[in-house]
Structure 1
Amino acid sequence: MTQSAVTASRDWQRTTADLRNGWQQRQLWGHLGWQDIKQRYRRSVLGPIWISITMAVTAIALGILYAGLFGNELGVQLPYILVGFIIWNFISGCLAEGSEVFTSNVGLITHLPAPLSVHVYRLVWRQTLFFLHNLVVYVVMLVIFPQPLGWGSLLAFPAFGLLVVNGTWVALLLGIVTTRFRDLLPITQSIVQLAFFLTPIVWIYEDLQNSANPAIAERARIAELNPFLHFVEILRRPMLGQSFELRNWVVVLAITVVGWTVTLIAVRRYRARIAYWV
């Protein structure tokens, strides 16, 4: 075996070891993630519940507005928007905070001898806790606006698992790129805001797709090119008791494989330089 092949093999071993050792330190990043939430709401009476209250108020306001604009029943529009908000908050959190996952932890990276993946796991765990807090609003919604939940709704568990897996590689890859090129940080945040309006969070995709106007229906199908649509739909549909759509899962699984492949290559190549870039 040549020297270059031996070096490449060692680089891959270090890459997988970083991810594996970071996962094994669950007590560390689990504690740090929980402390992040407690610190953010340290002097608040309601604490993290404010996250859910803010989201619920926004969803209700938009639900009433868009139900009137599109002529939909509030019992249809509001649950659609509310569940979309819950899912989007997790996705956007992984994207926005992932772009600064290393630069915001410069002190720990330079002084704490821990795998770099610890900071990514900490971020995803924190977003998962936010997601669980927001499920309180989802339960209240089910009481007010019952949904036709069945056995198919159990697909919500593997769907959220896929969101977590993808949120991990996204945060890891964005963290590496934006640490090296700091100008990409505000660009990433702007793209996240734009993606919210391009993704069917507050507008119902099926209504436009099934429109009697062929021009509107054709334009609505362009939304299929938006990868965020598929990530939202694989979880929102089971949470609302809607039917299974294979194409959404196929797209998400394909992105998962490609995304992790690119990320592992980037980690192998630039992992050792992150401590110097921060």
Structure 2
Amino acid sequence: MDAHVTPATTPVSVRFNAAEPERLSRALRDLHQGFAQFRLARTLAWLDLRNRYRGSVLGPFWLTLSTAVMLFSLGFLYSTLFQMSLSEYLPWLAVSLILWNMLAQMVTEACVSLTSAETIVRQMPLPFTVHALRCVIRNALVTAHNLPLIVIVLMIFGVYPDWSALLILPGLLILAVNALAASLLLGMVCARFRDIAPIVGSVMQIAFFMTPVIWKPHLLSAEYHWLLLLNPLYTLLETIRGPLIEGGGSLAVWLAALGYTIVHCTVGFVFFVRFRGRVAFWV
């Protein structure tokens, strides 16, 4: 009797991963639930500040005081070096320096937005978006303590913005969106590769001198002005600084800022969808 021989089946490589469709829905659910728990993120940010300045008399106003000292010191020095009147230079520097401090602090703390919440990430099923919002709100609260400096300097030198100052509202929105994207993107990247955070800090120090913060763009030769648009930090600064000091930023600046924001958010979202499930193991 002939035995029936069944041919061996060759393994078929399955290219479709059943988990793939779930990644997008889980990432979107994380974002939705994170914004739904905005009050929790705000409370955590407030507690962060209370713990940071516990036992301090002035609390975060120490930062305001140090910023004021730096502002007037740099103002007197660089107005002389650049041969500008103090009334022309100091309002510019006040807005530039305070906005830059906010930008630099947000980027730096975005690197640890998830690792600093290591205990919560491992023990509680909170959306990662909550920790990103917590980082953004915390830095916004710190910056709010420095805003009176801008008002005082503008009033002292008689600089009163016109109706174009309302353009700071979309500028702040663009900044907030980028801050949230950075908190998610850098938070995940730096959780996976711990050497990235010091590198980002060093890059921000170099960027301070490469960005028109203490120097005005008109000091740069006209043929190189287009290079400023290649600096994303400059476009973010100018969407807020321009309406306050110069009657509104140029159209090129706004288009560049929107372009960088779209690219930044796209990269951050793709990374968030792809690696969100590994964050708890990275921290």
TM-score normalised by the shorter chain: which range applies? over 0.9
Identity of aligned residues (%): 37
1:183 matched to 2:188: no
1:135 matched to 2:147: yes
What residue identity is the alignment partner of 1:61? S
RMSD: 1.6
The answer to which of 80-89 and 120-129 deviates more is: 80-89
Partner of 1:146: 158
The answer to which of 219-228 and 256-265 deviates more is: 219-228
Partner of 1:18: 30
The answer to which structure has the higher helix fraction is 1
In structure 2, what is the Cα distance between the partners aligned to 1:57 and 1:253?
Answer: 34
1:267 matched to 2:279: no
**Match of residue 106, structure 1, among 109, 118, 123:** 118
8 Å CA contact 1:152, 1:244 repeated in 2: no
Q: In the comparison of the two structures, how many residue pairs are matched?
A: 270
Partner of 2:173: 161
**Match of residue 95, structure 1, among 98, 104, 107:** 107
In structure 1, what is the Cα distance between the partners aligned to 2:255 and 2:84?
Answer: 30
Unaligned runs of 5+ in 1: 210-215
**Match of residue 230, structure 2, among 213, 225, 234:** 225
What residue identity is the alignment partner of 2:177? V
TM-score by length of 1: 0.92
Q: Deviations over 1:96-116 (max 9, x none)?
A: 011111111111111122001
**Match of residue 237, structure 1, among 235, 242, 262:** 242
8 Å CA contact 1:155, 1:238 repeated in 2: yes
8 Å CA contact 2:229, 2:256 repeated in 1: no
Alpha-carbon offset, residue 274 of structure 1: 0.7
In structure 2, what is the Cα distance between the partners aligned to 1:246 and 1:33?
Answer: 35
TM-score by length of 2: 0.91
Unaligned runs of 5+ in 2: 1-13
Q: Deviations over 1:25-80 (max 9, x none)?
A: 11211011011112221112222211211111111111111100010010111111
Partner of 1:200: 212
In structure 1, what is the Cα distance between the partners aligned to 2:246 and 2:43?
Answer: 34
In structure 1, what is the Cα distance between the partners aligned to 2:226 and 2:268?
Answer: 30
Alpha-carbon offset, residue 219 of structure 1: 3.9
8 Å CA contact 1:148, 1:241 repeated in 2: no
In structure 2, what is the Cα distance between the partners aligned to 1:244 and 1:184?
Answer: 33
* Runs of 4+ displaced beyond 4 Å: none
In structure 2, what is the Cα distance between the partners aligned to 1:18 and 1:224?
Answer: 33
Partner of 2:52: 40
Partner of 1:4: 16
The structure with the largest alpha-carbon Rg is: 2
8 Å CA contact 1:149, 1:240 repeated in 2: yes
Alpha-carbon offset, residue 244 of structure 1: 3.4
